[in-house]
Amino acid sequence: MQKVLVVDNSALMRRNYCDIINADKDFHVVDMSINGEDAYNKIHKNFYDVVILGMTSPRVDGVGLLRQLQEEQIAITVILISTTLPEDMERVRQAMSLGAYDYVCRLTRFNGVSDDFARDLLQSMRCAMEGKRAPQHTSEVADRVSRLTQRTMDTLSSADAQRPAVKTGSPRKVSGRKRLIALACSTGGPQALQLMMPMIPADIGVPIVLVQHMPAGFTDALARRLDQTCAVHVKEAKDQDVLEPGCVYIAPGGKHMEIKQNANKEAYVSINDKPPINSLKPCADVMYESLIHSDYAEIICVVLTGMGMDGTKGITALSKHKKIYVITESQDTCVVYGMPKSIVNHGLADKTVPINQIADAIIQKLGD
């Protein structure tokens, strides 16, 4: 039986990995570490056939651990666990160049694992045990993530060269109607947003509210990263923020975001800490349902890549009270075709296009 060391600073994720590994007759987790320093000390004192290294944990410093092992010429099989966010994939590329055997994508930063992840992890471990070449990340999701990440970087370079130099100026006059764009995404969303958002012009003329499934602590970094590459202003939404044209408000991780109206009939953000809805917090259904009571005459709903059905219930309810237009990302460019598929299957989608055509579809509708 192969001896395994699991390294991750999340107790829940360590337990998840252990459950997957120990359920296989060929492997057994004999040790766990919460960071790279502790793992390094254990590797010096004990023998392990495989090390499972969680690259999503900032305190683990997997790249530093691998660099140290390489400098000391300590040969050990290391399999990385990563999310699909571009910055995580960059760390994986560094780690692979330092001698890691393989990597497996966990798809999200949420504390959960899928059957596909469990299968890919055990497949990689089995290949390592049998002395075979690494699986080369043949899973459909990993291949798609790699392509999307490269496409994102290429498009961002092009968009950055073409976008306005400043984020000021008068909003475009799209129509006399009061409009809003309400966007939702989950798995694969950050890289989709980095591809799509820079294509939106600074004079879009309407506010944009966005729910991206993320835990607390990550949405502010996502907002700041997008703000650097977009013509529109992007920020993590704060309670009582009044919605302004040309600004994107991202629901803070671990909180629900609703849109309400004050005494001056201004739409504003209301952040609350109510329980998760279908294990989601923030939840897109909460955002969409809150818009029922808003003063917006028309709402453009946009649903991008993501697992599950979040957004379907909220958009269905919204459609009974407001004039809406629904744009979904097509299956060809989705990392996970779950949320958009649910919208399509429920007959709610007015237009379905690849991620690089979403912004054009929004602008075209605003010009109607």
- Catalytic center residues: 186, 213, 310
Count of CB atoms within 10 A of residue 238's CB? 10
Residues 6+ positions from 166 with CB-CB distance below 8 Å: 202
List the alpha helices (DSSP H) in the chain.
11-22, 36-45, 62-71, 86-97, 115-129, 140-162, 189-196, 219-229, 284-290, 312-319, 339-345, 358-366
| Residue in the block written with tokens 């279908």 | 278
The residue count of the chain comes to: 368
Strand blocks (E) in 149-275: 179-185, 208-212, 233-236, 247-250, 256-261, 267-272
- Contact between 21 and 28 under an 8 Å Cβ cutoff? The reply is yes
Q: Concatenate the DSSP letters of all residues of 128-167 into one string.
A: HHTTPPP--S-SHHHHHHHHHHHHHHHHHHHHHHHS-S-S
The owner of tokens 């028309």 is 298
